[in-house]
Chains A and B, each alone.
Chain A
Amino acid sequence: QKEVEQNSGPLSVPEGAIASLNCTYSDRGSQSFFWYRQYSGKSPELIMSIYSNGDKEDGRFTAQLNKASQYVSLLIRDSQPSDSATYLCAVDNYGQNFVFGPGTRLSVLP
Chain B
Amino acid sequence: EAGVAQSPRYKIIEKRQSVAFWCNPISGHATLYWYQQILGQGPKLLIQFQNNGVVDDSQLPKDRFSAERLKGVDSTLKIQPAKLEDSAVYLCASSQSGQGYFGYTFGSGTRLTVV
A residues whose Cβ falls under 8 Å from a Cβ of B: 1, 4, 8, 32, 34, 42-46, 49, 88, 92-93, 95-103
Contact = CB atoms under 8 A, between A and B. Distances in A.
Given A34-B103, A49-B102, A100 B42 contact: yes
A49 B101 CA distance: 9
B100 A97 contact: yes
Interface in B83-115: 89, 91, 99-109
Contacts of B40: 8, 102
B65 to A, nearest CB: 17
A44 B33 contact: no
Contacts of A96: 48, 55-56, 99
A97 B103 contact: no
A108 to B, nearest CB: 20
B44 interface: yes
Contacts of B43: 44, 88, 100
Given A43-B91, A44-B91, A97 B99 contact: yes
Given A88-B43, A92-B99, A103-B42, A97 B33 contact: yes
B33 A101 contact: no
Contacts of A92: 99
Given A34-B103, A42-B108, A96-B56, 14 more contacts: A32-B99, A43-B91, A43-B107, A44-B91, A45-B106, A46-B103, A93-B56, A95-B99, A96-B99, A97-B48, A100-B42, A100-B43, A103-B41, A103-B42
B5 interface: no
B48 A46 contact: no
Contacts of A100: 35, 42-44
Nearest to A8: B40
Given A96-B48, A96-B55, A100-B44, A46 B104 contact: yes
A102 B41 CA distance: 5
Contacts of A44: 43, 91, 106
A48 B104 CA distance: 12
